[in-house]
Structure 1
Amino acid sequence: MPIVRTTPVSGVSFLVLSGVLWGTGGLLGRMLADTTGLSSFAVATYRLGIGGLLIVGYLRVSGRPLPRSRAAWRRIAVTAGLAALFQAAYFTAVTLTSVSLATLVTIGSSPVLVLLARRRSAGRRQVTGVVLAMLGLAMLVGLPAGHGTTPAGHALIAVAFAVLAAAGFSAMTLIAERPVPDLDDAATAGLAFTIGGALLVPVTLATSGLSFVPDARSVGLLLALCLVPTAVAYTCYFRGLRTAPAALGALMALLEPLTAAVLAAVLLGDRLGGSGIAGALLLGAAVVLAGAGSRNRAEPQRGGA
């Protein structure tokens, strides 16, 4: 079986690809919810569980062995719990307030939390990139309007859940930075997401339910959601983190709302407006700045091989 070598530069490429693929998740999830009537929490449960099963199925068909060491299964268990926490906390925040506020706090907090965890090794370029990214994200997503419709207590609880979701994603990112010898990227995503999806099933059944009437359109959308922004995207993300720093990984996740905004404008006719366009440009500048910095740090390693 061929082994894919991941260099620092290719690691950045995998992170960029994962961020772009994540951006299709919002559109596919929205279309699936509109078609089936499933709640956002139910969509997330299906996405996590079936996405994991697709990867596990690929591993079995390709004859790749499953991990056996205790260290590998400990990593899988921790990643499963963090993935379930991330999904559950994020969609709880969405339920309590709005998608824009939950997205702004969750995705915006992640690179900040990772940067705080790595503050001793953080450079000026990383800090600048995060500041640009936060400003761009706020302009792109939009600061939520209509505070009068949401009680202050609910808004505070929603923000707390959004930060909890960001902490779950950040912890998953930081942990993935330290690979386990007996565990590759696909097995990590496949097994952890399958278990994480199973952890969410009882909660979803007790709240919104998982039933829908399957037809060609709904099944196709479900498979696309579980394959592209889940199975493929997270496998690329974990692979990229083998050589790229966690702070860069969290920052590249900001490509998700950028890609989603572009797709919504092109396919759904949504208009960004002047503020949204400026925010998209700032986000793009932050990503380019971070990626260029990572390539520059990788440059001295090229000469030897």
Structure 2
Amino acid sequence: MLVSEHPVAAARRSATGLWSLVLAGMLWGTGGPTGSRLAHETGLSPLAVAAYRLAVGGTLVIASLCLTRQPLPRGRHAWARMVVNGLLAAVFQACFFAAVSLTNVSLATLLTIGAAPALVLSAEWITGRRRVSPQMLATVALAVSGLALLVGTPSGALTATSELAGAGLALLSAAGFATMTFIGTRPVAGLDDLAATGVSFAIGAAVLAPAATVTSGMDFVPTPASVGLLLLLGTAPTAVAYALYFRGLRTIPAGTAALIALLEPLVATLLATLFLGDRLSSPGLIGAGLITTAIVLNTRGKHY
């Protein structure tokens, strides 16, 4: 006989999952500034930085599991999920940086992070997992509008070919992240969030590293600053953030999780303003306010 979960316990689990997603989004926001400083320090290309990010994050997690003598996941379903997550991580990382190289950061960010919630909500609606209400659609529209104001408008110097190719790659990146989010709401028995993160990222790094080696190279001169930045990039916005994100997906709908991910560009912009000398324009301030409002409305409503 199935025993239903006590309402108080269920509410506590939902609150824990929600705060796991919020913390993951905030930690992701440190990845952009950290990766930018790492690229400046080492001269590595964005693709090489992405490969190192996944490699270091995965290695740190697997090493911690070995030191604490925790067994790696076993079973066909667990390994199938980790392989899929690893390939998806490689796809959305590689496609995003390729989109940046063809267009610019603002357009790639707008299309990738802005399209992800819409793709996840569409998948939830098509599969019948969730009824998408007009309030939820309005919240997503508010968040995407805020994102457009925050990241700015793309430069007019782009050619039509580069814009179309970059837009296609950005949407492919969004599809990779949305797919990982969507399937992450279905837990696999015996698959721990931390172990899944470590192995998946090791697989993703194994896919990206050869491409980075052939196209731009992965050699750099290690210094205390570069090694420290690399460890920071692999830890906070990678290993810890994604472990929290997968944990949050256990109790929070995928569409809500994808919307909370908009904390990433918000936090990254604020950190760049505070520590990297960037200036936040008036439209950017309005956009930051709209994103914050959308996230608060989403988390305080009945969407999860």
Q: TM-score range by the shorter chain?
A: over 0.9
Aligned residues: 290
Q: Which residue of 2 aligns with 1:99?
A: 105
Letter aligned with residue 88 of structure 1: A
Aligned mates of 1:7, 1:232 — CA distance in 2: 19
Q: Which residue of 1 aligns with 2:14?
A: 8
Structure 2 residue 231 is the aligned partner of structure 1 residue 219:
no
Letter aligned with residue 187 of structure 1: A
Structure 2 residue 144 is the aligned partner of structure 1 residue 134:
yes
1:230-269 to 2 correspondences below 5 Å: 230-269=238-277
Aligned mates of 1:164, 1:153 — CA distance in 2: 17
- Pairwise CA distance, 1:150: 1.8
- Pairwise CA distance, 1:242: 0.4
- Pairwise CA distance, 1:139: 0.2
TM-score, normalised on structure 1?
0.93
Q: Is the 8 A contact 2:136 2:303 kept in 1?
A: no
Per the alignment, do residues 34 and 209 of structure 1 end up closer, same or farther by CA in structure 2, a change over 3 Å counting?
Answer: same
- Pairwise CA distance, 1:208: 0.6
Q: Is the 8 A contact 1:265 1:271 kept in 2?
A: yes
Percent sequence identity over aligned pairs: 52
- Pairwise CA distance, 1:9: 1.2
- Pairwise CA distance, 1:176: 0.5
Q: Which residue of 2 aligns with 1:87?
A: 93
Structure 2 residue 28 is the aligned partner of structure 1 residue 22:
yes
- Pairwise CA distance, 1:297: 6.3
* SS of 2:29 mapped into structure 1: helix
Q: Say which of 165, 169, 172 aligns to 1:164.
A: 172
Aligned mates of 2:303, 2:289 — CA distance in 1: 24
Q: Is the 8 A contact 2:256 2:303 kept in 1?
A: no
Aligned mates of 1:23, 1:47 — CA distance in 2: 14
Q: Is the 8 A contact 1:125 1:290 kept in 2?
A: no
Aligned mates of 1:197, 1:143 — CA distance in 2: 32
Aligned mates of 2:155, 2:255 — CA distance in 1: 30
Q: Say which of 153, 174, 178 aligns to 1:143.
A: 153
Q: Say which of 60, 63, 68 aligns to 1:62.
A: 68
Q: Which residue of 2 aligns with 1:33?
A: 39
Q: Is the 8 A contact 1:136 1:281 kept in 2?
A: yes
- Pairwise CA distance, 1:78: 0.6
- Cα RMSD (Å): 1.3
Letter aligned with residue 171 of structure 2: V
Per the alignment, do residues 62 and 282 of structure 1 end up closer, same or farther by CA in structure 2, a change over 3 Å counting?
Answer: same
Aligned mates of 2:135, 2:73 — CA distance in 1: 38
Letter aligned with residue 86 of structure 1: F
Q: Which residue of 2 aligns with 1:301?
A: none
Aligned mates of 1:267, 1:97 — CA distance in 2: 25
Q: Which residue of 1 aligns with 2:84?
A: 78
Aligned mates of 2:79, 2:232 — CA distance in 1: 28
Aligned mates of 1:216, 1:81 — CA distance in 2: 31
Question: What are structure 2's unaligned runs of at least 5 residues?
Answer: 1-9
Aligned mates of 2:276, 2:152 — CA distance in 1: 18
Aligned mates of 1:279, 1:106 — CA distance in 2: 17
Aligned mates of 1:297, 1:271 — CA distance in 2: 34
Per the alignment, do residues 99 and 113 of structure 1 end up closer, same or farther by CA in structure 2, a change over 3 Å counting?
Answer: same
Q: Which residue of 1 aligns with 2:297?
A: 289
Runs of 4+ in 1 over 6 A off after TM superposition: none
- Pairwise CA distance, 1:61: 1.1
1:193-212 to 2 correspondences below 5 Å: 193-212=201-220
TM-score, normalised on structure 2?
0.93
Letter aligned with residue 245 of structure 2: Y
Letter aligned with residue 68 of structure 2: S
* SS of 1:260 mapped into structure 2: helix
Q: Which residue of 1 aligns with 2:5?
A: none
Question: What are structure 1's unaligned runs of at least 5 residues?
Answer: 299-305
Q: Which residue of 1 aligns with 2:133?
A: 123
